Amino acid sequence: MLRTTRLMVVLWLLMAGLIWGQEHGTFTVGTAKAARGQKAVGVLEVPAGVDEGTPIPVVVVHGSRPGPVLALVSGSHGTEYASIIAVEKLITKLDPREVSGTVILLPLVNLASFEQKVPHLNPVDKKSMNRFYPGKKDGTQTDRASYWITKEVVEPSDYLIDYHGGDLDENLRPYSYWVKTGNEKLDAKTHDMVLAFGLDHIIITTDRPQDPAASRFLDNTAITRGKAALAVEAGYAGTVDPTDVRALVEGTLNVMRYLKMLPGPAPFVEHPVWFEKIVTVSSDQTGIFYPTVQRGSYVATGMKIGCVTDFANQKEYEVRASAAGVITYICAVPSMNKGDTVANIGVVAAESR
């Protein structure tokens, strides 16, 4: 009788311990360690290797109720400011007492780019910080940062959103990417997530690498590991336009409602414009660029979208659209080199999705 009672007490303690662990278990990323119902701030330290190390700021919002893990990552390109400010705002806005599940926020991956105001690349190793995933432990800083983000942020997550925007030299209209893999269940989830995010122009991407060891992009690193992910872009040419920031913040909250991480309905954007591909128009001249269309303009094939003059302003070369569609972005500055991107044109998909 006594033995049975003891056994029952031991079992009860084990059960209580398990439940307590689940309810009060901590969630750690880098030095940010959050108990249930708490927000913790820290850094994901990329150790020095062949070049210097770098701290990546990290915040963990560990909701009071259990649920999925969502990663929000911004600033791989440290001068795409609107997207960085949006994640900064989310750090304040997300209240762990209201959240079911856990949110990992990385507002600024590429600190050196932000500090030195260098677009596109990490100035430490001259690499784009969204092209070298899943990274290497012994590579240059970008490789190592990608390695640690994969290990510490992507792998523990169920869902991921990667934030971008027009860089210092890009006049961009907002859009998101739907990466279509052929895995129906995953594709249905990411499809719903882009609709819940709410940006009304969506690029359908079908040519991303399928190999998890060569995933290149952050969203694709999550996707090749079976997690639903999307990339979103808003902001242009160094601006922090409140409309862009609001779209990114509200889009995130709506995805969280769709994932049942926040209470409330999650409406889907209706009748978005789907792009079946992106056509890049490059300059065949070095000189001074003058755009003649705006971001978001509809253009026909052959339409003039800008011109490039020589530095003495003696000759003018026309730049024409090589496809019909929407200008997703156009060069925002006069500096133009031969081979540089003048504009990207989104070719509207024949059928709606």
Q: Which stretch binds Zn ion (CB under 5 A): 39-47, 69-77, 249-257, 338-346?
A: 69-77
Cis peptide bond upstream of 263, omega within 30? no
Q: Which stretch binds Zn ion (CB under 5 A): 156-164, 259-267, 299-307, 324-332?
A: 156-164
CA-to-CA distance for 322 and 280, rounded, in angstroms?
A: 8
Q: Which stretch binds Zn ion (CB under 5 A): 22-30, 134-142, 162-170, 336-344?
A: 162-170
- Does position 164 interact with Zn ion (CB under 5 A)? The reply is yes
Q: Closer to Zn ion at the Cβ: 217 or 258? A: 217
Residue nearest Zn ion, CB atom distance: 164
Q: Closer to Zn ion at the Cβ: 80 or 244? A: 80
- Does position 120 interact with Zn ion (CB under 5 A)? The reply is no
User: What are the structure tokens assigned to 137, written together?
Assistant: 């432990």
**Sole binder of Zn ion in the list 39, 77, 201, 227 (CB under 5 A):** 77
Which amino acid belongs to residue 110? N
**Count of residues of this chain found to bind Zn ion when the rule CB under 5 A is applied:** 3
Q: What DSSP character marks residue 150?
A: I
CA-to-CA distance for 111 and 44, rounded, in angstroms?
A: 12
- Does position 216 interact with Zn ion (CB under 5 A)? The reply is no
CA-to-CA distance for 224 and 154, rounded, in angstroms?
A: 11
Residue 297 CB contacts under 8 Å (≥ 6 apart), including other chains:
326, 327
Shortest Cβ distance from residue 80 to Zn ion (Å)?
5
C-beta of residue 302 within 8 angstroms of C-beta of residue 285 = no
Shortest Cβ distance from residue 34 to Zn ion (Å)?
28
Q: Closer to Zn ion at the Cβ: 99 or 121? A: 121
Q: Closer to Zn ion at the Cβ: 64 or 128? A: 128
CA-to-CA distance for 78 and 111, rounded, in angstroms?
A: 6
CA-to-CA distance for 290 and 331, rounded, in angstroms?
A: 9
Q: Which stretch binds Zn ion (CB under 5 A): 159-167, 203-211, 283-291, 292-300?
A: 159-167
C-alpha to C-alpha distances, 249 to 87, 165, 183, 199, 287, nearest whole angstrom: 7, 14, 29, 11, 38
Q: Which stretch binds Zn ion (CB under 5 A): 6-14, 36-44, 157-165, 272-280?
A: 157-165
Binding residues vs Zn ion (CB under 5 A): 77, 80, 164
